[in-house]
Amino acid sequence: MTQLDRLERSKTKIHETEARVVVQGLTRRFAGGPAVLDSLDLTIKAGEFVALLGHSGSGKSTLLRTLAGLDPVTEGSVVCPAEVSVVFQESRLLPWKRVWENTVLGQSGTDRRERASTVLKEVGLSHRLDAWPLTLSGGEAQRAALARALVREPSFLMLDEPFAALDALTRLKMQHLVSELWIHHQCSVLLVTHDVDEALLLADRAVVLDRGRIHMDLPIPMERPRRHADPQFERLRSTLLGALGVHDG
Ligand SMILES: Nc1ncnc2c1ncn2[C@@H]1O[C@H](COP(=O)(O)OP(=O)(O)OP(=O)(O)O)[C@@H](O)[C@H]1O
């Protein structure tokens, strides 16, 4: 695929209008405490890439867990596709299973190894098919976690600070990989991140949560591939940092 094809495909995605995830009036409290999610409304379109930002405790993980069906909906409603995959900050690979077995965990069929091989190639891990998870670097482990998420062909992929534990250079490579995978798989993505630049490099929209409410929902109209040198970058960066109560410069 040429750079231009990629750009065209990503533009097509942005113009899609079909809603894939619809959250309405979602409220969540723990043990009668204050609302961790407070009458939250959020729609994510098919093929859309949304970054979710917010201070620690603002409700990001609770929202993600609710969308993944790991936390119950007690007030409000959530419509979410059946095929959802989640990648967490830690890879959560089973140490007693080889990389390829981890990738197709829970999948059946005689072509499991072949399917694992295809998706591991996509994330750049063909050479580590038979490796044990404990021998992987941090970046490789997250590549394997991405492969495991993608092998299920999700129409909605959630990433909960997937690169937070990686060094800066590896993080850059992983951001590039996620961008490529998203364009190739055409799924909707919700990325939880504390990194404003990561949101600006990857997402169509940045949503800032504050005490369980949406404080800002900012479209990111920059062309792809994204560049820090884009004149809009600094402006969007300041807007997002302002919404987070951080003052740069
Ligand atoms: N199982 C639980 N029981 C009680 N309180 C909880 C539970 N899970 C989350 N909370 C509380 O809900 C609030 C939101 O937590 P959540 O993990 O969603 O925030 P977050 O934005 O993801 O934070 P971080 O960036 O630190 O991961 C916090 O005050 C947290 O203590």
Q: Are strands 205-210 and 49-54 parallel, antiparallel or unpaired?
A: parallel
- Quote the ligand 1 centre to 61 CA distance (angstroms): 7
CA-closest residue to ligand 1 atom 28? 57
pLDDT tens-digit series, residues 189-237: 999 999 999 999 999 999 999 999 999 999 999 999 898 899 999 999 9
CB of residue 96 inside a 6 A radius of ligand 1: no
Question: What is the value of ipTM here, to two decimals?
Answer: 0.97
Q: Is 143 in the pocket of ligand 1 (CB under 6 A)?
A: no
Supply the DSSP symbol for 129: T
Name the closest-CA residue to atom 2, ligand 1. Answer: 30
User: Does the beta carbon of 154 sit less than 6 angstroms from any atom of ligand 1?
Assistant: no
Distance, CA 57 to ligand 1 centroid (Å)?
A: 5
244 Cβ closer than 6 Å to some ligand 1 atom: no
Q: What is the pLDDT of residues 22-65, one digit of tens each?
A: 999 999 999 989 999 999 999 999 999 999 999 999 999 999 99
Q: List, for residues 150-187, the tens digit of each pLDDT value.
A: 999 999 999 999 999 999 999 999 999 999 999 999 99
Give yes or no for residue 36 CB within 6 A of ligand 1: yes
Inter-axis angle of helices 3-15 and 168-185, nearest 10: 70
Rounded to the nearest 10 degrees, what angle do helices 112-122 and 138-150 cross at?
Answer: 120
Residue with the smallest CA separation from ligand 1 atom 29 is 57
